[in-house]
Structure 1
Amino acid sequence: MPKRIIYVHGFNSSEKSYKAVRFGEYMADYDVDYCVPRLNHEPLQAIVRLEQLITANTALIGSSLGGFYVTYLSQKYSLPAVVINPAVRPFELLDNYLGDNYNPYQDSHYKLNSRHIAALRRLFLPQLHTPSLLYLLQQTGDEVLPFQQAVKYYSQCKQLIEFGGDHSFIGFEHTFASIVDFLKIT
């Protein structure tokens, strides 16, 4: 039973993302430490920050790029995790973002370069070692990431696939009970 839930936001997002806030409100009725750290655009800094927050009995939730990070950490530390419309191979998708960027949710300017892409490539796990630790929430209407890639990559995991929707995961609130059940939150 987890005592800490870490929610990991996606690329160009923040700790104030809609899903993070809504799930945090839901978690107020449970005896858990719910945290949503603000992550740096630098992948290795983001991973180090998340590793600093991991304690005994931690569970993870990640959306989009956060799902990619959560997958890596789940498999490295044997932690249960929920991934929401996750990026499976983000290093193949970020070429259009190389150069100067602005994250309006963090009000920060940054430069994405090939070193960041290489760091993401190094974090990729070609095969999940313990797929039973992961629960995929995927909507087929995701306009940002190829949903088929996630369904295939997480094929040995528990899955909730919904037709339609979008990258934000429309109706996220209706998945809360299944998330709590999967993570064994009491």
Structure 2
Amino acid sequence: MPTTHLLYLHGFRSSPQSAKARLVAEHVAAHHPDAFLWCPQLPPSPRAAMALVAEGIAKWPQGAHMAVIGSSLGGYYASWVAQQARCKSVLLNPAVQPARDLARHIGEQTSWHDPEERFFFRPEFIAELQALDVSQQPPAAPELLIAAQGDELLDWREMVARYPQAQQCVLPGGDHALSSFPEHLPEVLRFCGLV
């Protein structure tokens, strides 16, 4: 069954302007013009972010006709979305314990792609992250994990342990930004059902 709708979720302090998001958008536009791609700018509040996504995909065909790609914190969100929509997910260096890891980032933050843009990561967002944890549930649909051993921000071993049933692609070296993503894009989109 072909995928007709694709959701891309960016990471913490990131945006739809990230290199990976733009690459996915360009490739889908060039090679899959009939597919609908949405990469929303996610608000800092995890609850608000997932409310935005849930509203945005409410009328989408769920299950086999949609897929979600998430990078870093977006990977954590993607697992939640995949549970709700029963759809395939691709997890790119996903955050596994964001409530733990982002606790030290409470306060004013800047956006990677626009340092002039500032936002506050509030203490209550930690509980909102915990409320989205689906790690104790079996995957609702196939998962693809791409984890770089050289990720300087997140531990690839935690990623591998978190997604034991996923198709796993563990990269020697690499970095958190997944600079080698262009090489993996065809596999990612094939997995999503865009062939």
1:96 aligned residue: 104
1:73 aligned residue: 81
Say yes or no: does 1:41 pair with 2:44: yes
Counterpart Cα distance in 1 of 2:123 and 2:69? 27
**Structural mapping, 1:12-51, within 5 Å:** 12-28=13-29, 29-30=31-32, 31-51=34-54
Q: TM-score, normalised by structure 1?
A: 0.94
1:170 aligned residue: 179
Say yes or no: does 1:145 pair with 2:154: yes
Say yes or no: does 1:121 pair with 2:122: no
Q: CA 1:104/1:170 → structure 2, altered by over 3 Å: closer, same or farther?
A: closer
Counterpart Cα distance in 1 of 2:108 and 2:93? 26
Q: Which amino acid aligns with 1:99?
A: G
Secondary structure in structure 2 of the residue aligned to 1:94: helix
Residue by residue over 1:75-134, the C-alpha shift from the partner in whole angstroms, topping out at 9 and shown as x without a partner, is 122011101000011000012211222224254322222210110011112324226521
Q: Which amino acid aligns with 2:5?
A: R
The offset of 1:37, in angstroms, is: 0.7
Q: Is the 8 A contact 2:82 2:140 kept in 1?
A: no
How many residue pairs end up in the alignment? 186
Structure 1 gap segments, 5+ residues each: none
1:109 aligned residue: 118
Structure 2 gap segments, 5+ residues each: none
Residue by residue over 1:150-180, the C-alpha shift from the partner in whole angstroms, topping out at 9 and shown as x without a partner, is 0111111111111100001121011122112
Counterpart Cα distance in 2 of 1:132 and 1:34? 19
Say yes or no: does 1:61 pair with 2:69: yes
Counterpart Cα distance in 2 of 1:99 and 1:139? 28
Q: Is the 8 A contact 2:87 2:141 kept in 1?
A: no
Q: CA 1:147/1:45 → structure 2, altered by over 3 Å: closer, same or farther?
A: same
Deviates more, 1:144-153 or 1:107-116: 107-116
Q: Which amino acid aligns with 2:162?
A: Y
- Choose from 139, 143, 163 the match for 1:134: 143
State the superposition RMSD in angstroms.
1.4
Say yes or no: does 1:85 pair with 2:93: yes
Q: CA 1:76/1:116 → structure 2, altered by over 3 Å: closer, same or farther?
A: same
Q: TM-score, normalised by structure 2?
A: 0.90
Q: Is the 8 A contact 2:144 2:166 kept in 1?
A: yes
Identity %: 30
